[in-house]
Amino acid sequence: MRQPLQGVRNILRFNWHFYAIAGVGVGLLLALSFLADTFLGAYLGLVALAVGWVVVVSLVVSAYVYDFSPLYRLRWLTELNLASQPVVANIHAGFDESSALLQQRLNPAKLWVFDFYNPNAHTEVAIKRARQKYPAYAGTQAVGTTYLPLPDNTAELVVLMLAAHEIRNEQERTAFFSEVRRITAPGGKVVVIEHLRDAANLLAYNLGAFHFYSQKAWYRVFGAASWQHVQERKITPFVSVFILTNNGAGA
C-alpha cells in the first residue's frame, strides 16, 4: 500500500538538490532585495516570490496528482473494464511504483514486469536515487525499447504508467509501441498514463512540462506504430490515459 504523501515525499527526496538550490536562490534574492534601492529591491523581491510560487505550486499539484487523486488507486481500471485481464505486462523506466498495486488490484494469473531503464540514456540523478531506495519488483526483467521478451499476442493488458515519455527519441518511441503491439493479444488493451505538454501542466510545472509530450505528439507516435483505435480520458486535469486497442489490423 502507498504511504500517506508518498508521491510528494518521493519528489522531495529524489530531487532535493533542486529544492535546495531553489531555496538558496530565493533566500539570496530576498536578502538582496532588502539591501538594494527601492526599485531594484522591489524587482528582486518579486522574482523571489515568483520562484517560490512556482516551486510551491508544483509540489501542491504533485501532491494532488500522486497522493490524493484516483491515479494510484487504480479503480479507473475497473471503470474502463480492464480489471479482469489474466495476463498483464507492466513496463516502466527504472522506478516502479505500480507493479505491486497492479498485482493487488488485478490479481492476474500472470504479471510480467519489464524495466527499460538505460543508465546511458536516463541520466537523471532522481531516477538513480529512486532505484537505490526502492528495490525492483520480484521477477522484473531488464529490457531494451526495441524488444520485449514475450511471444506474439501474449499480453491481454499492457500498462505504461508515467514511463513512455522517458524514450526521448520519437523514432525509438514509435518502434517501442510497434513492439508493444506485437506482444498484445488481439482485442487486448495498452494503457499509457502520461502528463501532457499542455496548458494545465505548464501552469503546474512551468519549464518542467517540456519534459512531457503534447497530445498531438502521442497520437502521431500511436498512428505511426499502427495503433488504429485510441481512446483518451483524464485522471485529473494534469494526467491523461490513452487506451490503445489491438484490433489485429495494420502492419
Query: How wide is the angle at C-alpha 119 spanned by C-alphas 114 and 125, nearest 5°?
Result: 110
Q: Which residue has the cell 493479444?
A: 185
Do strands 87-92 and 155-161 pair parallel, antiparallel, or not at all (unpaired)?
A: parallel
CATH topology of domain 71-245: Rossmann fold (3.40.50)
What's phi and psi for 141, nearest 5 deg?
Answer: -110, 130
- pLDDT class of 94 with cuts at 50, 70, 90: very high
CA dihedral sign of residues 202, 236, 196, 150: positive
Over residues 59-87, mean pLDDT: 92
Q: Which band of pLDDT confidence, cut at 50, 70 and 90, is reported for residue 127? A: confident
Neighbours of 141 (CB within 10 A): 13
Give pLDDT, residue 96: 94
- Give me the pLDDT at residue 251, please: 46
Closest by Cα among 228, 64, 80 to 157: 80
Q: How far apart are CA 250 and CA 227, in angstroms?
A: 8
| Residue 224 parent element (H or E) | helix 215-224
pLDDT higher than 70, residue 61: yes
Domain range annotation of the chain: 6-68, 71-245
Please report the pLDDT score of residue 119 as a whole number. Answer: 84
Would you place residue 249 in the very low, low, confident or very high pLDDT band (cuts 50, 70, 90)?
A: low
Cβ 180 vs Cβ 190: under 8 Å: yes
Q: Which three cell numbers stand for residue 227?
A: 495503433
| For the chain, percent of residues with pLDDT exceeding 90 | 83
On average, the pLDDT of the chain sits at: 93
pLDDT exceeds 70 at position 172:
yes
Instruction: State pLDDT tens for residues 175-223.
Output: 999 999 999 999 999 999 999 999 999 999 999 999 999 999 999 999 9
Distance between CA atoms of 137 and 134, rounded to whole angstroms? 9
Residue 149 burial by CB count (10 A; 0-12/13-18/19+): exposed, middle or buried? Answer: exposed
- pLDDT at site 147: 97
